[in-house]
Amino acid sequence: MLRATGLLKSYRAPSGAPIRVLAGVDLAVKAGELVVVTGPSGSGKSTLLNVLGLLEDGDGGEVRFDDERVSRLGRAAKSRARGRYVGFLFQSFLLLPTLTALENVLLAAQYVGRSGSATRRRAMELLKEVGVADRMDHFPAQLSGGEQQRVAFCRAVLNDPPLLLADEPTGNLDDANGALILEALRGRARAGAAVVVVSHRPDAAVGASALYRLRGGVLESP
Ligand SMILES: Nc1ncnc2c1ncn2[C@@H]1O[C@H](COP(=O)(O)OP(=O)(O)OP(=O)(O)O)[C@@H](O)[C@H]1O
Ligand SMILES: [Mg+2]
């Protein structure tokens, strides 16, 4: 489902000095697999997910979805590929402040032109699954960090994306709710999605297809 080869990415520090973040990352994730990536803060995990999810362009290398070389597509086609393939769970949630929890989840369906009562029911089911159904009419500012994180999870999975990229999906959650989200991510993999999870929780690796550590800009086995 996902194949990345030779990914390179550098940023420029405010001083102008280059910061090499990805120095040749190779990663392949098949449908049904769940891969866990760890690594110290600043090692480039979020950058890697952004490049894999076509939110940022790498400086080199390529990303393929189902053998299509999506990293070479133009802007509009890339955004279509992202809509079709990728569910993104951001480290900073990125919920829209003017929409309620339920509306934020439903936004995912709107992007792909879906609406209607079945979609709404599915969104409510997901919110229930992660224990925030009773907060669905709250705006993000009226939700705790962990509740926002769980709403963001629902938005990421609403369309059943074949590729799910989750950046520290349990970062704001207690043990029990973190375990719930991890189990929900495993459930997505069992249902056939390719899942990449950035996480430091030791239990994230339980049942994972592979565990990697991002170090020095490349993925290594820990
Ligand atoms: N737009 C940018 N311009 C310059 N440097 C950047 C930019 N974005 C990220 N960086 C730098 O790139 C490095 C990797 O950042 P990234 O967010 O990918 O790390 P991370 O592994 O996700 O860290 P964390 O565990 O803290 O979330 C960091 O040192 C960061 O300072
Ligand atoms: Mg990060």
The model's pTM is 0.94
52 lines ligand 1 (CB under 6 A): no
DSSP code, position 68: B
Closest CA to 62 of 92, 102, 35, 22: 22
Query: How high is the pLDDT of residue 165?
Result: 97
50 lines ligand 1 (CB under 6 A): no
Q: State the CB neighbour count (10 A cutoff) for residue 100.
A: 19
* Contact in structure between 157 and 186 (CB atoms under 8 Å): no
Positive or negative: CA dihedral 139, 51, 185, 208: negative
162 lines ligand 1 (CB under 6 A): no
Which amino acid residue places its CA nearest to atom 13 of ligand 1?
42
- pLDDT classification of 58: cutoffs 50, 70, 90: very high
Ligand 1 center–CA 142 separation, angstroms: 29
What rounded mean pLDDT belongs to the chain? Answer: 94
Q: Is the pLDDT of residue 206 over 90?
A: no
Closest CA to 126 of 157, 95, 99, 97: 157
CB neighbours of 196 closer than 8 A, spacing ≥ 6?
2, 27, 29, 34, 35, 37, 49, 52, 163, 164, 165, 166
3-state secondary structure of 215: strand
CB neighbours of 182 closer than 8 A, spacing ≥ 6?
169, 170, 197, 199, 201, 203, 204
Q: Is the pLDDT of residue 49 over 90?
A: yes
Which amino acid residue places its CA nearest to atom 4 of ligand 1?
11
206 lines ligand 1 (CB under 6 A): no
| Domains within the chain, CATH numbers bracketed | 2-94+161-220 (3.40.50.300)
Residue appearing with tokens 């003017």: 98
Q: Is the pLDDT of residue 207 over 90?
A: no
